[in-house]
């Protein structure tokens, strides 16, 4: 272990664990001792595990695999989202939706709804609605954004999952285990090492500690293959076998039909579509 790494870990309080009364015997090997009734990590072993996880993530991502980054802890939201966005991987930073992995077929429909509303809002298509209808759509968009903003391009289950604090993100770990998806995690002194593929024993309660570790891993993580999410035909909640592009085209047609229905309410525009139909019949 180099002096620089020790100094960086100490300055970023990676070594501070939980209280002695809040721990798991499975983590005994990675605990150096205690100070003021708080466990202290053995930084020698932390560095070893950190490099192991870094190497495994590097191998995965170089093969074009996709990693889903997960942490809904307030301290970890920003550094985790920054890492995922910078490396081009999906992430969950505010709300874990139950069944996100185990019931992904249904979740894809919700992501499709979110993308449609997002596109409608950007194009100004919601402006043609009444104030009440627009407010309802914007409220729904806000809720969906909280859950799915990091999953816009995710069209299939990921190849691996990385979580900050395996105990706090227990639901995500359980779902990944059910699908035999490898799980990498930052674990505090109360962590369950048997529930994950590999882990880093470290402080998961501090913004500085989490940011330092994620920055350390960042250089090893490559972007997933282009089109890596496009297997299995994209969204199925109303989409055809062609992936996301056809889904958006279909959404555009729906929006156009909705706009046409709204336009029919105006008497001046009623005659226009009828005239077109008559002309088409005559030509036939």
At 34-66, the pLDDT tens digits run 998 999 999 999 999 999 999 999 999 999 999
Q: For 207-221, what is the mean pLDDT?
A: 94
pLDDT for residue 123: 85
Q: Per-domain residue ranges for the chain?
A: 3-218
Tokens of 83: 């890492």
Both ends of the chain: CA-CA distance in Å?
82
Strand order of the β-sheet with 31-35 is 16-19, 38-41, 31-35
The answer, yes or no, to whether residue 263 has pLDDT greater than 50, is no
CB-neighbour burial class of residue 189 (10 A; exposed 0-12, middle 13-18, buried 19+): buried
- Which one is predicted more confidently, 3 or 193? 193
Residues 6+ apart with CB under 8 A from 277: none
Q: For 197-216, what is the mean pLDDT?
A: 95
Tens-digit pLDDT profile for residues 78-103: 999 999 999 999 999 999 999 999 99
Q: pLDDT-derived band of residue 3, with 50, 70 and 90 as boundaries? A: confident
Cα 138 to chain centroid distance, Å, stands at 21
Tens-digit pLDDT profile for residues 146-188: 999 999 988 899 999 999 999 999 999 999 999 999 999 999 9
pLDDT for residue 254: 52
pLDDT for residue 261: 54
> What CATH architecture applies to the domain 3-218?
3-Layer(aba) Sandwich (3.40)
For the chain, the average pLDDT equals 82
DSSP secondary structure string for all residues of 183-210: EEEEE-TT--GGGSSEEEE---S-HHHH
HSE-up (13 A, CA, CB side) for residue 73: 22
pLDDT for residue 224: 85
């Amino acid at each position: 272990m180099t002096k620089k790494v020790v100094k960086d870990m100490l300055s970023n309080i990676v070594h501070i664990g939980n209280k002695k009364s809040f721990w798991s015997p499975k983590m005994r090997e990675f605990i150096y001792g205690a100070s003021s009734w708080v466990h202290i990590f053995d930084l020698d072993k932390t560095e070893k595990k950190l490099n192991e996880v870094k190497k495994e993530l590097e191998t995965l991502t170089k093969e074009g695999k996709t990693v889903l980054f997960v942490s809904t802890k307030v301290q970890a939201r920003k550094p985790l989202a920054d890492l995922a966005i910078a490396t081009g991987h999906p992430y969950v930073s505010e709300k874990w939706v139950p069944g996100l992995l185990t019931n992904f077929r249904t979740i894809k429909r919700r992501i499709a709804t979110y993308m449609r509303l997002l596109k409608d809002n950007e194009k100004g298509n919601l402006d043609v609605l009444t104030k009440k209808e627009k407010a309802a759509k914007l409220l729904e968009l806000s809720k969906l954004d909280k859950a799915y903003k990091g999953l816009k391009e995710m069209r299939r289950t990921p190849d691996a999952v990385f979580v900050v604090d395996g105990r706090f993100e227990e639901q995500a770990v359980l779902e990944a285990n059910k699908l035999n998806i490898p799980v990498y995690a930052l674990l505090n002194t109360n962590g369950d090492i048997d529930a994950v593929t590999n882990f880093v024993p470290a402080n998961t309660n501090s913004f500085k500690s989490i940011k330092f570790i994620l920055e350390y891993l960042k250089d090893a993580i490559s972007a997933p293959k282009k089109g890596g999410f496009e297997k299995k035909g994209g969204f199925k909640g109303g989409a055809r076998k062609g992936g996301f592009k056809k889904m958006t085209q279909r959404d555009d047609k729906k929006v156009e039909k909705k706009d046409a229905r709204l336009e029919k309410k105006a008497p001046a525009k009623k005659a226009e579509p009828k005239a077109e139909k008559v002309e088409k019949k005559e030509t036939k």
